[in-house]
Amino acid sequence: MTVLAAFLLVVGAAFLAVSCLGLIRFPDFYCRAHAVGKAETLGSILVLVGLALHNGLALSSLKLLLVLGIVAVTNPTATHAIARAAIRSGFAIWRAPRDGGGDHDLAG
Amino acid sequence: MTTLLLVLAVFISLLIAATLYRIAIGPTVYDRLIGVGLVGTNAVNMLALIGFLYGRIDMFVDLALTYALLNFIGIVALAKYFEQREEKA
């Protein structure tokens, strides 16, 4: 059980790191919303499930699963709300430059 | 296991610090909002980890619950606010 919990915690932290990397490196707002909306949710789910497994059978484990449910529902919803606000405000979607140069600035 | 939890807590705090870079330079306000949401979600994970580190998970899990709800409400309210503001401009 401890090994499984540790595995889930490490994999979840890896997904959190990927999400943070995507937020920093992706070229425009919608790509960043994509990174945060999915990878962050999966990382949080894995970390919280790992913590609940580590805690064992108790009331606080049930509450951890409740936190998990709230994060799993609200995090994509919040990201969607921000993306909707952006696209309704006429925020253009980024396209890769057509001139064949592979050296464009990804950090934008 | 306690060492692993401590390492994970330090790692997540480093991730939050890296997210602050995007919040600082983010070209538009929406990038900053996305960054704030990511910091909030990481803070929820961080609170659960801190609860295990202090051995008081029965108290800290309530804090994490409250923080998750408040984070969501704040982000949605800010998204609505900036959407309306851009429409009028």
| DSSP sequence for B58-83 | HHHHHHHHHHHHHHHHHHHHHHHHHH
Please report, rounded to a whole number, the percentage of residues in chain B having pLDDT higher than 70.
93
For B33, name the nearest residue in chain A, comparing CA atoms only: A82
> Taking 90 as the threshold, does the pLDDT of residue A103 lie above it?
no
- Number of domains comprising chain A: 1
CA distance B13 to chain A (A): 11
3-state secondary structure of A65: helix
**How far, in Å, CA of A90 to CA of A101, rounded?**
27
Q: Is residue A52 part of a domain?
A: yes
Query: For residue A95, what is the DSSP state?
Result: -
CA distance A97 to chain B (A): 19
Q: Is residue A98 part of a domain?
A: no
Across the interface, whether the CB atoms of A82 and B42 are under 8 A apart is answered no
**How far, in Å, CA of B47 to CA of B58, rounded?**
12
Per-window interface: A 19-78 vs B, CB < 8 A:
19-20, 23-24, 29, 32-33, 36, 40-41, 43-44, 47-48, 51, 54-55, 59-60, 63-64, 66-67, 70-71, 74-75, 77-78
Q: Domain range holding A83?
A: 2-88
**How far, in Å, CA of A26 to CA of A43, rounded?**
19
Q: Is residue A37 part of a domain?
A: yes
Say if residues A54 and A63 touch (Cβ distance below 8 Å): no
pTM (2 decimals)?
0.85
Q: Is residue A97 part of a domain?
A: no
* pLDDT tens per residue, range A35-86: 888 999 999 999 999 999 998 888 989 999 999 999 999 999 999 999 888 8
**How far, in Å, CA of A102 to CA of B18, rounded?**
26
Q: Is residue A48 part of a domain?
A: yes
pLDDT for the residue B14: 94
Q: Is A100 exposed, middle or buried (0-12, 13-18, 19+ CB in 10 A)?
A: exposed
The average pLDDT across B23-39 equals 89
Identify the band that residue A108 occupies on the pLDDT scale cut at 50, 70 and 90: very low
Closest CA to A26 of A41, A42, A37, A14: A37
pLDDT for the residue A100: 52
Q: Kindly list the domain boundaries of chain B, sorted by start residue.
A: 2-88
Q: Is residue A30 part of a domain?
A: yes
Assembly ipTM:
0.87
